[in-house]
Homo-oligomer: A and B are copies of this chain.
Amino acid sequence: MSERAYVRGTLESYLDKLASGEPEPGGGSVSALVGALGAALVTMVTNLTLGKEKYAEVQDDMVEIQAESERLRRRLEELVTLDAVAYGKVATAMKLPRDDENQKEARRRVLQTALRGAAEVPLEVAETALAVAKLSLPTVEKGNINGVSDGGVAVLLADVAAQAAALNVKTNLAWIEDEAFGRDAWTRVEAVLSETARLRDIVMAITYSKI
């Protein structure tokens, strides 16, 4: 599956697949999509600001923010599909035979590797969503005032993408035997969650003060 397979499909087909009982896409893929929507809104505010005389002093900042928000968006767009790919490997591993001890041990090793892969995708979603949240702050501070509510929506989406990704990291960690991996992953998630929550509160306060 190409890493842009899901974003090349229609919104209604993605929503229908999500609603179905099929294992993928699920909450992990959605968290990446929501993060990508947040990144797109950051880019929108930069586009509303670039080339405007009134915002002459912040043109260089907006160019930099846009380069970064578009890079983050492209990666999150890929993660919409890559989460499904990683989960597919777990589903495949679960179906391996376990008729004797050798098979059981082989299945265990393949499954553990697949589970780590499936935890790493939402971990990357969470950390990328934090980067989007960071960019939303200068967009509401310095960007076109007509886009301030879009900058506010961007931080809401980045924060919830991180929270949704955290749930998916946790679900995978429950089955991962490598405790050091689990501790490290969850420490990274907690750092992301506290920082996105802090940014959400700051950016929302600025947004509400300007509309």
Contacts and interface: CB of A to CB of B under 8 A. Distances in A.
Interface of A: 4, 6-12, 14-16, 18-21, 26-27, 30-31, 33-34, 36-37, 39-41, 43-44, 47-48, 50, 70, 73, 77, 80, 149-150, 152-153, 156-157, 159-160, 163-164, 167-168, 170-171, 174, 207-208, 211
Main secondary structure of the interface of A (DSSP, over half): helix
A189 to B, nearest CB: 12
Contacts of A164: 152-153, 156-157
A130 to B, nearest CB: 16
A171 B77 contact: no
Contacts of A167: 149, 152-153, 156, 207-208, 211
Given A41-B27, A153-B30, A168-B149, A19 B160 contact: no
Which 5 A-B residue pairings sit nearest by Cβ, starting from the closest?
Answer: A21-B47, A27-B153, A19-B43, A19-B40, A18-B40
Contacts of A11: 6-11, 14, 33, 77, 80
A34 B171 contact: no
A197 to B, nearest CB: 13
Nearest to A11: B7
A30 to B, nearest CB: 5
A36 B15 contact: yes
A7 B18 CA distance: 14
A26 B150 CA distance: 7
A36 B37 CA distance: 14
27 contacts: A4-B12, A6-B11, A7-B11, A11-B11, A11-B33, A11-B77, A16-B40, A18-B40, A19-B70, A20-B47, A21-B44, A21-B47, A21-B50, A26-B41, A27-B41, A27-B149, A30-B37, A30-B41, A30-B157, A34-B160, A149-B167, A149-B168, A149-B170, A153-B164, A156-B164, A157-B164, A167-B211
